[in-house]
Amino acid sequence: MNTAPLQVRRMRPACDETNPLEGEIVWSQVKSLWFTTHLGIALMGGWLTISTGAVLMSGAFTVLTLCLGHTVGLHRLLIHRSFNCPRWLEHLLVHLGTVVGMGGPFAMLYLHDIRDWAQRQPACHLFYIDQRPIWRDALWQLHCKLRLKHPPQFEIEREVREDRFYQMLERTWMLQQGPYAVLFYLIGGIGWVVWGISVRIVVSLIGHWLIGYFAHNTGQRDWHLQGHAVQGYNIPHLGLITMGECWHNNHHAFPESARLGLTQAQPDPGWWALRMLNFLGLITQVKLPADMPARSELIPLNTNPNHTPI
């Protein structure tokens, strides 16, 4: 049985000096301007165009893109390969994840993997630890990036890197909002565009950042990763609104599991969506904690049978 520490497969040391500690925080023009523009539109236009229909549509589209797109398509499928599905369905799910507004599929792979790689080291830069004051973390995560002095080598698997649909999404990830903006305008006018695009993007980006901040700072832990610079925490009562992403201690323990909420008391809408897709015969080879290889650094902290993964 393999008990070696789990590595991030797309990250490799580029040289002997490769490390996640040395680096500088710099302004990320694209990320900052993208977020600030939509924030301005949401703050000014949201109050002027608010209506019951616009709010309900925005909420429904937010749930759709975050659940099927971000947590299922980008996180559990493209990044961790927690299940298999037909190519057309994979493209649809990743497209919905791109519409969340965080970046293209290649950028999302890098942002996730560089963070995972850094957090699994004995020590890493503060940018990846999320233990600074919340206002500064917001500034860093929503407007800046870390430029490592000795970064690892990042290599996307060939079948993803050479996929023309993903190449198109990477080039046009901002423009993916366009067709939905046109549809919303035709149905409900400019108010639906403001709420369906800008308000939704701002809510999604701030929500994603907040969960990342709190899930590395406070909550409950059933597992400890020995030798890791950063531990994940489970945040009770937020399973529904985070699509299951709040069960972050579970995810650190079993990163390739398609199920993040591992007990009956941990609701996981992303897992519910996968169960429906499995019932319809659209996905196969769904990975669960029992399918994960043993990890020498994984230490259970809670022996209560109610916390045993199911």
Delimit the domains of the chain by residue range: 24-148+161-302
Mean pLDDT of 90-99: 98
How many angstroms separate the CA atoms of 224 and 58, rounded? Answer: 38
Is 99 a residue whose pLDDT tops 50? yes
**pLDDT at residue number 5:** 54
Alpha carbons within 13 A on the beta-carbon side of 183: 10
Give the pLDDT mean for 106-125.
96
pTM of the model: 0.94
pLDDT band for 3, please (50, 70, 90 cuts): very low
Q: Indicate if the alpha-carbon torsion angle 191, 196, 201, 204 is positive or negative.
A: positive
With a CB cutoff of 8 Å and minimum separation 6, the contacts of 131 are 216, 217
Q: Name the pLDDT band for 227 (thresholds 50, 70, 90).
A: very high
